[in-house]
Amino acid sequence: MPKAKIAGSAKALATRSPKAAAKRPAKASPKPAPGGKPSAKPPATRMTLKGVMAALEEAGTAQARRTYTRHGASEPMFGVSFGDLKKMLNRIKIDQELAEALWDTGNFDARNLAAKVCDPANFPPKVLDAWASVPIGWLWGGYVGQIAAEGRHGKAKAEKWLAAKNDATRTAGWCAVGAMAMIDEATPDSWFADRLAEIEKGMKAASSRHKYVMNNALIAIGCRGVALRKAATAAAKRLGTIEVDMGDTDCKTPDAVERLEKTWDRAKASGYESPAAQERDRESMRTRC
């Protein structure tokens, strides 16, 4: 993985040629991601790295930069809203090589967009490890975990990342567990039951960020099926209230027992056998959020 290049503005990229690889047609996914739709082909006229960075810079706002900073993001960034990122995703579709080029800029907004336009089914494992190792705000681990869960290496990456010494990588590992619980039908429930036991054992000593993602993983595991709902609810009651320092934000840590009950009620009311089944019928979290 080449060392990340820092890009503060689109003008800085104007003197630099986009990666030659970005000029070649991207490979389309050979099969749908677990619980998702088949990867869309890129449009006939593809956006270049230079063009994307210029569009991101134009869409940035000072207000968004302040908001992202409070949520752990750091410079360089333009401050692009998720609504504008969605518009760019709709134009770019799927482009793994462009995604990697966007990541290499080091720009916060470019990396958020990279997580949306990448192709999980054709994602190089070593590149995924590199993405998981960098702390980029509170949302980033969820994106990387979702990419792993949608690809072919979800279980292997989750286990590897959970054993890592790097704090950001372990965060991505718990996010991968949560994403897998919702969309990966192949992994046995016993594997998720083991993760529940790890959550109970490690929650008290975990950092605020790990408590947050572990609590989210517990909720996701409880959304997988009836038996795991019962196990997750029992574990949540034993753990009690999870206190997380969310910094200068309005974010709150969900009460796992309450969230499980409400999520199951919504899924049943919509005709699904579980919240996980409902999630598998939706657009991927990383592209809709």
Mean pLDDT of the chain: 86
Q: What is the pLDDT of residue 102?
A: 97
Q: Which range of residues forms the domain containing residue 32?
A: 22-122
Does 209 map to a domain?
yes
Does 6 map to a domain?
no
Does 243 map to a domain?
yes
Read off the pLDDT of residues 153-177 as tens digits, 9 standing for 90 and up: 899 999 999 999 998 999 999 999 9
Read off the pLDDT of residues 186-208 as tens digits, 9 standing for 90 and up: 999 999 999 999 999 999 999 88
Higher pLDDT, 169 or 71: 169
Residue 282: pLDDT above 60?
yes
Does 169 map to a domain?
yes
Which amino acid makes up residue 78? F
Q: Are residues 116 and 135 in the same domain?
A: no
Q: For residues 174 and 210, is the Cβ–Cβ distance under 8 A?
A: yes
Taking alpha carbons only, the member of 215, 219, 145, 216 closest to residue 184 is: 145
Residue 27: pLDDT above 70?
no
Q: What is the pLDDT of residue 107?
A: 96
End position of a domain, from candidates 103, 122, 141 = 122
Does 68 map to a domain?
yes
**Cα atoms in the Cβ-side hemisphere of radius 13 Å centred on 272:** 18
Residue 239: pLDDT above 90?
yes
Taking alpha carbons only, the member of 183, 191, 131 closest to residue 156 is: 191
Does 16 map to a domain?
no
End position of a domain, from candidates 75, 90, 122 = 122
Please give the angle made by the CA atoms of 125, 129 and 130, to the nearest 5 degrees. Answer: 120
Taking alpha carbons only, the member of 230, 242, 252, 260 closest to residue 202 is: 242
Does 14 map to a domain?
no
Q: Are residues 269 and 161 in the same domain?
A: yes
Does 279 map to a domain?
yes
Q: How far apart are CA 237 and CA 250, in angstroms?
A: 25
End position of a domain, from candidates 122, 137, 157 = 122
Q: Are residues 172 and 190 in the same domain?
A: yes
Q: Are residues 55 and 154 in the same domain?
A: no
Q: Are residues 68 and 152 in the same domain?
A: no
Number of domains in the chain: 2
Q: What is the pLDDT of residue 10?
A: 39
> What letters, b where the CB count within 10 A reaches 16 and e where it falls short, cover 71-98?
ebbeeebbbbbeebbeebbeebbbbbbb
Q: Are residues 104 and 209 in the same domain?
A: no
Q: Which two tokens stand for residue 170?
A: 């372990």
Q: What is the pLDDT of residue 245?
A: 73
Tokens 């016993």 belong to 190
Q: Are residues 143 and 116 in the same domain?
A: no
Residue 17: pLDDT above 90?
no
Q: Are residues 185 and 282 in the same domain?
A: yes
- DSSP alpha helix (H) spans, 40-124: 49-59, 62-70, 82-92, 96-104, 108-117
Read off the pLDDT of residues 91-144 as tens digits, 9 standing for 90 and up: 999 999 999 999 999 999 999 999 999 999 999 999 999 999 988 766 667 899
Largest CA distance in the chain: 58
pLDDT-derived band of residue 55, with 50, 70 and 90 as boundaries? very high
